[in-house]
Amino acid sequence: MVLPHPLPLVPAPVSAVAREGRMPITATTRVLGSSPATAQLIAAVERRTGIRLSVVDEAPAEIELIVDPNSSAPEGYTLEVGDRAIIVGADEAGLFYGVQTLLQLLRQDDSGWALLGADVADSPRFARRGVMLDVARHFFGVADVKKFIDSTSALKLNHLHLHLSDDQGWRVHIDSWPLLTERAAATSANGDPGGFYTKDDYREIVAYAASRHMVVIPEIDLPGHTHAIGVAYPELVEAPVLNDNLIADSARLGQPLPVAGETYLGWGVGHSSVRIHEERTYDFVRDVVRELVEMTPGPYIHIGGDESLGTPQADFDLFAERATAIVVEAGKTPVAWHEMGSAANIAEGTVGQYWGKTTPEGTHAEEAAHFVERGGALIMSAADVTYLDMKYSPDFPLGLTWAAIIDVRAAYEWEPTAVLDVPDSAILGVEAPLWSETTRTYRDVEQLVFPRAAAQAEVAWSPQEGPERVWESFRVRLGTLAPLWKAEGVEFHAAAEIPWSER
């Protein structure tokens, strides 16, 4: 298929028409607008070009930023670039996304810096467009998380799921259970350094995300993936259950097996569980949820629920019912991995996160559908297309392969509403998780996340049947992001199937 060269925009807008000509950007270019997006635009242009735009309080101005609630759907915007550039956002989020589109139109040629002429009208397909960062297997500090927020919100992703606890470590301070960070935060997988967020750190992340129109979803993984809790409070956690797969994988990887009360340095799963029938366990859950709620303005608290292989089903069901109820009592909407859908009485309205494959296996589809039956909805994180920790190719140095090998095209060519037999209206949107077993540095994270996060962003934002919503168009448009990512210091993987631009 041969397509005309599209405007260099990712994700593809609802409507985008190129205009003839370019609008020069120089040191005399003025910006009119009182939104926070104005300062963000000026800072981004300066990082990219070295040119510092000036702000004016009244017309005339070459670039104008406006909020008009009647102009578009929520988070939507219109953008015109001719002799002047005018962005009209339906709300502050829409204006922010219009600025991200404008920055993608900023190009350098032999005449200097300029904006490509364009008429754009745009709004998102799905309201929920997310990424997940696992800071438990390997810890990433506040500065790294902020950079992650910058790079992903620029793709119009609007939810950040932080996986704050796992067998390897507990990563956020809880006043009522202080030993969690005193005893269970010092290390990461393979014995690498650990760390944790103070409450001020966590609030700083939440506020920074909000400034980029991202909602933070904190996750405390329960009742499994809880070995680290037992390092701090042994009375809360059962002895490890050593299944055959865990023993075999630990031997293959040269990793130690989990030992009760000792820091776990491997990354095997399914061996840990909190004590389901101890009332103190629910005191713990209630306290942790309460303290997270106090710091989290967004509507969600994620309570895990995956891979509880050592927990009897009846015990798992009891825990799922009580834990989801605790979140509701605290005034938030519970989110859980799809396995919690096996519990008959999860709290009504609980949101499920489906991490099974695009062709569901076992009972995964039924478990996911149960959230919808209980008045909830679903987030699609199909592991064989969205998991950012899978390898691009068999010989790629980072990542795992258990779900699939996911090149950029595989990450792009899937449809969130086609996986499960539920109404399209039950799909809230898409989330792309980055599990951090193999990512020892933030550079490693960026190599796995970019460019595939751009594929997931287009799946989540762009119209399903849009004219540019095909691989041959996407690969060309994706390649044009290279100069912008380089200017922002994003260490993306230059996948061979993408024609990367120089400028």
Rounded CA-CA distance 407/384 in Å is 10
461, two tokens: 């934002």
**Residue 202: which of 129, 283, 295 has the closest Cα?**
295
Rounded CA-CA distance 88/67 in Å is 6
Helix 442-449 and helix 452-461: axis angle, to 10°?
Answer: 50
Amino acid at 446: E
Rounded CA-CA distance 316/260 in Å is 20
Q: Which of 307, 321, 366, 491 is catalytic?
A: 307
Helix 199-211 and helix 142-153: axis angle, to 10°?
Answer: 20
Helix H or strand E segment including 495: none
Distance from first CA to last CA of the chain, Å, rounded? 25
Rounded CA-CA distance 127/144 in Å is 26
User: Catalytic: 182?
Assistant: no
Instruction: Dump the DSSP string for 156-218.
Output: T--EEEEE-EETTEE-B--TTSTHHHHHSSSB-GGG-B---B-HHHHHHHHHHHHHTT-EEEE
**Under a CB-based contact definition with an 8 Å cutoff, are residues 196 and 170 in contact?**
yes
443, two tokens: 């550079």
Chain-centroid distance, C-alpha 492: 16
Task: Count CB-CB contacts under 10 A for residue 470.
Answer: 14
| Sign of torsion over alpha carbons 320, 326, 327, 329 | positive
Rounded CA-CA distance 495/392 in Å is 8
Rounded CA-CA distance 420/360 in Å is 8
Beta strands in 90-233 (DSSP E): 106-109, 112-122, 128-134, 159-163, 165-166, 169-170, 215-222
Q: Which residues are catalytic?
A: 307
